[in-house]
Amino acid sequence: MLENKLKKSKTFSVRTKFILKVIIINIFIILLIFVGFEYKLYKKNNDNLPFFHMVSSLNSLQFKDDYKRLLSYGFYGLENFPEIYMFRRPVKYENNNKSVILFGGSFAWGRRLQEHQTFHYKLSKLMKRTVYNRAICGWGTQHMVYQLLQNDFYNEISEPEYVIYVFISNHVDRIFKYKFIQDFVRRTCYNYLKYNNYKGGLKEEHRLQNVPYWRFYNEVILPYIAKKSAEKYGFEFLEKHLLEAKKAVDAHYKDVKFVILEYETENIAFNNYPYIFNETNVNKLKNDGFIVIKTSDLTNIKLDTKYNLDNKDAHPNAKAWDLITPLFVKKLKEIESDNR
């Protein structure tokens, strides 16, 4: 009797192990097929990348809806509303009709900073001009271009003297990451992100984020694709976006100076592409009509943890903008003086 029970138990154990092995092997095979499919797509896209002019996210319905939603929210000011979903309120300077338009991501937006601590606020006070901050956390050059291609963008802003784009290396990744996300999302018939209530506002949540394959793609394959693509075509794509933005600005305004401020950070969370703003590429952008200023041109001080929000968040703190903004404004004046 006991022997029979032991035999059955052993048989069951062997069978269970066999079934588990089959399941694991099948998952592994499916995963390999998935990775192979994505790699094939990556190779196909990489062969054609130089011929893309705008990334697919610019034309996606999801992004158009996001932009409309942003405009409908009004300006940031509610503590219980996620900062990523609202533009900063313009800093008005009543005694001067000239203005500045600021673009970028979270650095330009002023993540976790109060209004008076932000770059755009300090810029307004030092330049004595109204500053329109059109940056949003997580955005990049493609989002700047999208806004500048919308006719209603120009209804609010009058007589800009400068357009300033605050650039960090991570923006190169975003150009490619958004593109491949959109390709993948479209193939899987998920054209929209899901928005959940979050502290009185909305929180973005992809419908596939809890699916193991999507997580693997998003956290392993996608960063690899973006990094490899950025290394190969990063500057070419960046320049195309900047030129498209400049073309749109020049079509609506006269004598506007387009400035690129590269905020150089050693944050290990960002992929760094030092060649993007090497001497050759900087000179190329200058020949394209851009003013290029790197934070290393302004100060020898390293923008390390002392100038970060904290040890885990490398976004600039108030001290960083206290240091950089006056030096940046001074540099602009020197460049203008030299060009006269």
Contacts of 102 (CB under 8 A, 6+ apart): 108, 119, 120, 123, 131, 132, 133, 134, 135, 164, 165, 166
3-state secondary structure of 291: strand
3-state secondary structure of 10: helix
Distance CA 52, CA 179 (A): 10
State the pLDDT at residue 204: 46
Contact 108, 72 (CB under 8 A): no
pLDDT in tens, 302-315: 888 889 888 778 88
pLDDT in tens, 135-172: 988 788 878 888 888 888 898 887 899 999 999 988 88
State the pLDDT at residue 217: 66
Tokens representing 252 are 């609506």
Buried b / exposed e along 304-336 (16+ C-beta atoms within 10 A) = eeebbbeeeebbbbbebbebbbeebbebbeeee
How many CA atoms are closer than 13 Å to the CA of 232, on its beta-carbon side? 15
Q: How does residue 40 score in pLDDT terms, banded at 50, 70 and 90? A: low
Q: Which of 46-55, 201-210, 226-235, 282-291 has the highest mean pLDDT?
A: 282-291
pLDDT in tens, 75-111: 665 444 445 557 888 999 888 889 999 999 999 999 8
Beta pairing class for 257-262 and 290-294: parallel
Mean pLDDT of the chain: 75
